[in-house]
Every structure is written in C-alpha cells, then in structure tokens.
Amino acid sequence: MHTKSRLFDLINSLSQAEKRYVHRRLNQHKNGSLAGGLYAAIGKLDSFSDPDFKLANPGAPWLRSFAKNKLLLVELILQALREYRREKSIRYQVEDLIRDAEILISKAKSDHALKRLNKALEVAEKFE
C-alpha cells in the first residue's frame, strides 16, 4: 500500500456511524474546519492520488502543508475512533471508572472512589 493512499483507505473503511461521529468530532476540534474540509473532500472520492487531488482542489487551504495536514487528519480520525469505541464498549467504561477511582484515591477522596468502584462493578455485572 502506498503511503499516499493510507488516509483515503482509512476514511473509506469507516462505517456510516463512524463517519458521522468523526465528522462531528472534527467540527469540535480547533483545527476542525481545515481537517473537516480535507476529510469531506477525500471522503467523496472513488480513488485517490496526491497529484490528482491537488489538481482538483487548487487553492484549498488544506493544500498548504498538505503532508502535515494529512497526518493531522489521520491522528484526529484515530482519536475520534478511540472515543467512539470507548462510548460503545462496556470494557472501556469499566476501565474508565476504575481509573477515576485511582485518581480519587490519590486525591484522598476514598468515599468518592468507592462510589466509582461500585458503579464499575454494577456496569460489569449488568453486561457480564
């Protein structure tokens, strides 16, 4: 696989739900308009090559520092997918509750930590 097609392949591998989630997260990011524009432009294509893409989008803001913007977009997509999976995964939810408890314990908030651990146990047992 050519390096230049990895972003295209990643975008095309997303489910419709993942694409919607990524789009929403890109709009919330500080570089969202730039990344969102590049994401939308690449997402509309049937095939991709850097030279053809640059010719088809003259003057587009994402063409300045194109390689850097593509790398940024890959990172933002992966970050959004991690968040998407975290929201959908019971395992991640339980792990986050346990991490919260660890933080609360380090802050000498044992009573709050115990509530988080009980919640983690409740979630784990519910979906066991």
Matching residue, tokens 């419709």: 16
The answer to whether residue 103 scores a pLDDT higher than 60 is yes
What is the reported pLDDT for 75?
Answer: 94
The answer to whether residue 99 scores a pLDDT higher than 60 is yes
10-21 pLDDT tens trace: 999 999 999 999
32-91 pLDDT tens trace: 678 889 999 999 999 999 999 999 999 999 899 999 999 999 999 999 999 998 888 888
Strand, helix or coil at 105? helix
What is the reported pLDDT for 43?
Answer: 92
CB atoms within 10 A of CB 17: 10
User: Is 123 within 8 Å of 97 (Cβ atoms)?
Assistant: yes
DSSP-assigned letters across all residues of 41-100 = HHHT-SS--HHHHHHHSTT-GGGTTHHHHHHHHHHHHHHHHHHHHHHH-HHHHHHHHHHH
What is the reported pLDDT for 122?
Answer: 94
* Domain segments of the chain as ranges: 3-86, 90-126
What is the reported pLDDT for 1?
Answer: 42
